[in-house]
Every structure is written in C-alpha cells, then in structure tokens.
Amino acid sequence: MKKTIMLLVVMLLAIPQMIFADVWVTELAVPLDWNANPESDIQGYELYRSSVIDGSYIKVNNLITDTQYLDTEVTDGSEYFYKLLAVDLCGNKSNLSLASEKTIVDITAPVQVQNVMAQVINPCLGIVKLTWDASTDVHFQDFIVRRDGVEVYRGAEIEFTETLTEGSYIYTIAQRDMACWESTFVIVNIVVILDTEPPTPPVWN
C-alpha cells in the first residue's frame, strides 16, 4: 500500500514596520504610514492603538489595504502609540509590530503668561528687568519676549534683563508648547528715564 505524505507548509509573514507617526499633531487626525510587506499575497493590515506603550492595544480598523492611514478617533491632549500586523490572502496574520513613536494630539494653545512685571532696576544705566510666573503647561517649550515687535528673548527662564536707551518701550510676552502653539501675548509698557542729573552740592552746617 502506497502512502501519501502531505506536508503543510506555513509561511510566517514578515512583521510590518511603521515608518512614521507625527510626534506632535496639531489637528484631530493622526497620519500614519509604513513599509509594504515583501510578500506578494498580502491582503491588508490591521492597526492597533493604545494610550500606553506597554498597555492594551485596541484594533482601530478591521483591514487596511493601503500602507497609510489617518486616525481621526483621537482627542485633544491625548497621547497614542500604534502597532500593526499584516494579513495575507489565506487569513494568516503576522505578529504585531513594534510600537510607533509616541504621538501627542495638541490643538489648543497654552494660556497667557501670568504675573508679568517690568521695571527699571538701574536708572543710571537704563537696565530693564522683566519677570513672570513659570509655565504650568505640561507640554511647555519656551517663552518668547518681543520689544516693539522684535523678538529679544526665547527660552525657558522666567526673567529677562537688557540695557536700553532713554525712551518708551512696549514688551509682549507669550509662551509656546511643543506643538509650537503660541499663547495670546501679554503687553507691558515701560518708560526708561536715565538719571544723568548730578546731585546738588552739599551744604555746611
């Protein structure tokens, strides 16, 4: 009796590799794209989302036939991670890919800078100092100080000092977040009057 031996060959699908996920997204849509799998019988891809890189991933879409996807089921201020798997024409599925970079959805500008003060701290030299409160924005990037419309400072410090000639000046200060949203600015006016007048001569008793 002749026996027929059937061999079942199971081909492991390559794990799709995600190329890019915007680290900062300034609208309620996250654009994602990845490399196409090398296999010729790929049916599509399943996309999974999580708010924590090592958390539970929920399927976003049953099957994506393209190598890019726009996730519109996101909320402002939230953070997301994504994973992919490939599906072939027989329904075989690859393992999940590595997680994408963290994607933060930010469509809201930070609040105004608080308690901005400007004063002439040295009338002899015309030294002006501006101070303000530290930012409470969790995605804070920097403060921007402008004098008469010209940027004179950009950084994370909560004070700025410069030397000016006599005159009237208008400062504006705003803060930016990591998505480069800029808050509405605070306006501060200051007048510099140099003390150049010598004192009167002393008088004997």
Q: Do the domains 18-105 and 117-192 sit in the same CATH topology, yes or no?
A: yes
Cα–Cα distance, 72 to 48 (Å, whole number):
13
pLDDT level of residue 17 (50, 70, 90 thresholds): low
pLDDT level of residue 10 (50, 70, 90 thresholds): very low
The domain locations on the chain are 18-105, 117-192
Specify the fold of 18-105: Immunoglobulin-like (2.60.40)
The closest alpha carbon to 86, from 101, 98, 97, 71, belongs to 97
The closest alpha carbon to 20, from 34, 10, 1, belongs to 34
Q: What is the CATH number of domain 117-192?
A: 2.60.40.10
List, in order, residues 6 or more apart from 151 with CB less than 8 Å away. Answer: 144, 145
Q: pTM for the full model?
A: 0.75
90-125 residue pLDDT tens: 999 999 999 998 999 999 999 999 999 999 999 999
